[in-house]
Amino acid sequence: MIFRVRHVTTYTYVEPVLVAHHQAHLAPRTFQYQTCRRTLLRITPEPASLTMDAVDYFGNNLAFFTLQDPHKTLTVEAVSRVEVRPRDLPAPGETPDWESVVGMLRRGAGPMVLEAAEYTFESPFVPCGDPDVVAYARESFPPEQPVLAGLLDLLHRIHKDFTYDPAATTLATPIARVLSERRGVCQDFAHLGIACLRSLGLPARYVSGYLLTRPPPGKEKLKGSDASHAWLSAWVPGAGWIDLDPTNGCIPGVEHVTTAWGRDYGDVSPLRGVVLGGGDHSLKVAVDVEPLGDGAA
């Protein structure tokens, strides 16, 4: 599938911003199952400098820009054309048991294993070792459970046990509260899944991107009604990284567009920066994911 993705972020400030430095993860990645054909970035007011060819530690596309004129509104529009291809999935019962995967990571045999092992440690948004998180994870990973079977079980349990509620959490809500209250958003469910896996010694990374949404029957899709999405990815020997979307209880396919991945949300936030001035501000985000068909130019 080919998609046109339009992501518009608007900041409105109470006081003028005098100087601002920003970084953006807005250009989708190119990897085995996806090709980003192009990304255009439009910034208002026009930046004094703009760099679009940077790459961060995790291999994500990164843009930097600086604003030196006073402004009370900042609009960043990213328009990308992305090709997404079907993903391969091994038979769950044919994957190694999860304990052997943990052992392999601890031995660190080979560059691919070492790269995966980087995602077994806790990170700012994903603490590890909480007894309640470990207990929740172990329900999906009994002794000698094939690792992919355990991953799929965890995926479906989070989807079944938790309620999507945008009013229940903020970026600062800890995983322990999400687990106890069983409510949150895609970011929370991704962080919880990652915490479960890392607490057992299994590697997991945070994935940001977009998901094609469909209007209710008989209704037209509203412009800007899509949103940024988040899920997680787990490493399976012989198969590589396998994505899991606990919010929707599915394995991401051709309707998931990947922007970036890292240890947690902090590594891949779409837009962040440092500003001088501005005072209080409001934020508005509008996203459109438009399918252009199979093999569109």
Coil/strand/helix, residue 75: strand
Residues 138, 202 within the same domain: yes
Residues 112, 216 within the same domain: yes
Give the global pTM. Answer: 0.93
Which spans in the chain are helix H? 98-107, 111-117, 131-138, 147-161, 175-181, 186-199, 265-268
Q: Which CATH number characterizes residue 6's domain?
A: 2.60.40.2250
**How many other C-beta atoms can be found within 10 angstroms of the C-beta atom of residue 83?**
20
Q: Which of 5-14, 88-97, 101-110, 266-275 has the lowest mean pLDDT?
A: 101-110
Closest residue by Cα to residue 186 from 115, 127, 123, 252: 252
Both tokens of 258, joined, read 């990947």
How much is the pLDDT for 224?
41
- Whether 53 is covered by a domain: the verdict is yes
Q: Which CATH number characterizes residue 143's domain?
A: 3.10.620.30
Torsional class of 108: left (φ above 0), alpha (ψ -120 to 50), beta (otherwise): left
Rounded Cα distance between 227 and 213, Å, is 9
How much is the pLDDT for 293?
76
- Whether 260 is covered by a domain: the verdict is no
Closest residue by Cα to residue 18 from 267, 274, 239: 274
Query: Scanning the structure block, which residue is given the tokens 């010694």?
Result: 201
Both tokens of 74, joined, read 């900042």
Coil/strand/helix, residue 266: helix
Domain residues for 165? 92-252
Residues in the chain, total: 297
User: For the chain, how long is the longest CA-to-CA vector?
Assistant: 61
Q: What is the mean pLDDT of residues 234-255?
A: 95
Both tokens of 102, joined, read 């943990």
Q: Which amino acid is at 9?
A: T
Instruction: Please give the helix or strand (H or E) that residue 176 lies within, else none.
Output: helix 175-181
Residues 103, 232 within the same domain: yes
Residues 112, 238 within the same domain: yes
Tens of pLDDT, residue by residue over 131-181, are 999 999 999 999 999 999 999 999 999 999 999 999 999 989 999 999 999
CB 174 within 8 A of CB 121: no
- Please report, for residues 28, 206, 270, the alpha-carbon distance to residue 194 in angstroms, rounded to integers and kept in the order given: 22, 7, 20
How much is the pLDDT for 295?
57
At residue 247, φ and ψ (nearest 5 deg) are -60, -40
Both tokens of 287, joined, read 């996203």
Query: Scanning the structure block, which residue is given the tokens 């044919």?
Result: 94
Residues 147, 76 within the same domain: no
Residues 17, 121 within the same domain: no
